[in-house]
Copies of this chain bind each other. A is one copy, B any other.
Amino acid sequence: MEYKFSEKIANLKPSAIREIFKSLTDPSIISFAAGNPSPESFPVEDLARFAAEIFANESTTALQYNITEGYTPLRQAIAERQKKRFGESMVREDDSVLVVSGGQQGIELACKTFCNEGDAIICENPSFIGSLNSFRSCGATPVGVPMEIDGISLTALEETLKNTPNAKLMYLIPTFHNPTGITMSLEKRLGVLELAKKYDLVIIEDNPYGELRFAGEDLPNLKALDTDGRVIYCSSFSKILSAGMRVGFVVANSTICSKMTVAKQGEDVHTNIFFQMLCHKFMTNCDLDAHIAKINALYRRKCNLMLECLDKYVPSDKVEFTRPEGGLFIWGIVKDTDDASNIVKLAIEKKVAVVPGTAFNCDTEAKSNAFRLNYSTPSDEQIVEGVKRLGEVFKSL
């Protein structure tokens, strides 16, 4: 039979990242294209020990249906952690914690909870492709606002807000932004909140990398600055414990959380309860700060290595790179062009993979003069050799 798919799904294109991944089956290609945490960040022995304990002592709870909101002790541990790490105002009196199946689900549920089909979501441009596609698959349209080196352009944001009456949400990654690695300045964080108030929008603050700061000083999260219950804070354990387990969380006003809970019930009833219990055991029995400090030492070293190699091997008159203080990504901006797609193709020919900037555009037809590099997945040797190859690409232009 001929299928008549919904408009939102029929129009969705497979992600360019996935297409690149297909080319990565060639083992001679060095990939800077992934967004994976380093396997060294997984505390395997601790998780194995806690798993054995759960099977021995709490197997029925761990294998039976549970409530949609999440495992209560984990929700409490998350609230405590957020307050300890990012300040008391991260979780206000009328806030709740909702456990979700990876940070991505929190973002998707927020969209479902606030957007009718055809509504718009204001995003940084570029932005995380997973979230953009998630919005599209809900029938909402991402509308991009250009970024500057200290985050979203406030002038362009206000202009866009004026011209987008059907905007229901802003979606922002203020800290160690994916794909650019940029962190939004305090001034802009305050400006964004002011504009959200003026135009009466709710903000999704996506902060999967917030714990991964390896340089500079913390800036307050939008959630911590917000006094109106306007910010839906989404984060996860993917970058600090395990990405494959799919455990994330939302901190938001209780009214929002209860609506998102009903939406979540219709998607997967609840998140894998065994791994919720594992997360709780790790948080309460291990030194999470020490564990994260180890990850950050690793990523600091890898990021610095990649930046040193980029300085050494890639001609600075042809491309400039962001210098992240945390997270997983460096953004390369090619000078004197509006289209860097040839770079990505030439790089694959030289056996090094990067993600084209077009993958992260809100407007899927638009060009991009940039590309994304990841330093958490490749080995040190691969970083050196891969950047050398990238340098050859630019020297050959």
Contact residues of A with B, CB < 8 Å?
A: 1, 3-10, 12, 14-15, 35-37, 39, 42, 44, 47-48, 51-52, 55-56, 59-66, 101-102, 104-105, 108, 112-117, 119, 130, 133-139, 168, 200, 202, 228-230, 238, 242-246, 253, 255-256, 259, 262-263, 265-275
For residue A66, give the distance in angstroms from its CB to the closest CB of chain B. Answer: 6
B-side contacts of A130, CB under 8 Å: 265-266, 269
A244 interface neighbour in B51, B62, B137, B242, Cβ under 8 Å:
B62
Q: Judge whether B117 and A139 touch: CB under 8 Å.
A: yes
Q: Judge whether B42 and A47 touch: CB under 8 Å.
A: no
Q: Judge whether B262 and A14 touch: CB under 8 Å.
A: yes
- A5-B114, A272-B246 known; A59 and B44 CB under 8 Å? yes
Q: Judge whether B266 and A245 touch: CB under 8 Å.
A: no
B-side contacts of A8, CB under 8 Å: 112, 116
14 contacts between A and B (CB under 8 A): A6-B168, A8-B116, A14-B262, A39-B63, A47-B63, A51-B52, A63-B242, A64-B243, A101-B267, A101-B268, A112-B138, A133-B265, A133-B266, A134-B266
Q: Judge whether B6 and A115 touch: CB under 8 Å.
A: yes
A245 interface neighbour in B15, B42, B133, B274, Cβ under 8 Å:
B274
B-side contacts of A5, CB under 8 Å: 113-114, 259
- A6-B113, A102-B268, A269-B130 known; A262 and B137 CB under 8 Å? yes
Chain B: CB-nearest residue to A270? B246
Q: Judge whether A60 and B42 touch: CB under 8 Å.
A: yes
B-side contacts of A63, CB under 8 Å: 39, 42, 44, 47, 242-245
B-side contacts of A60, CB under 8 Å: 39, 42
Q: Judge whether B269 and A246 touch: CB under 8 Å.
A: yes
Q: Judge whether A9 and B228 touch: CB under 8 Å.
A: no
B-side contacts of A10, CB under 8 Å: 259
Given contacts A62-B244, A63-B245, 12 further A-B contacts (CB under 8 A): A9-B113, A36-B64, A39-B59, A44-B59, A48-B52, A63-B243, A65-B238, A104-B269, A116-B139, A134-B267, A267-B268, A272-B275
For residue A7, give the distance in angstroms from its CB to the closest CB of chain B. Answer: 6
Chain B: CB-nearest residue to A42? B63
For residue A308, give the distance in angstroms from its CB to the closest CB of chain B. Answer: 27
B-side contacts of A275, CB under 8 Å: 272, 274
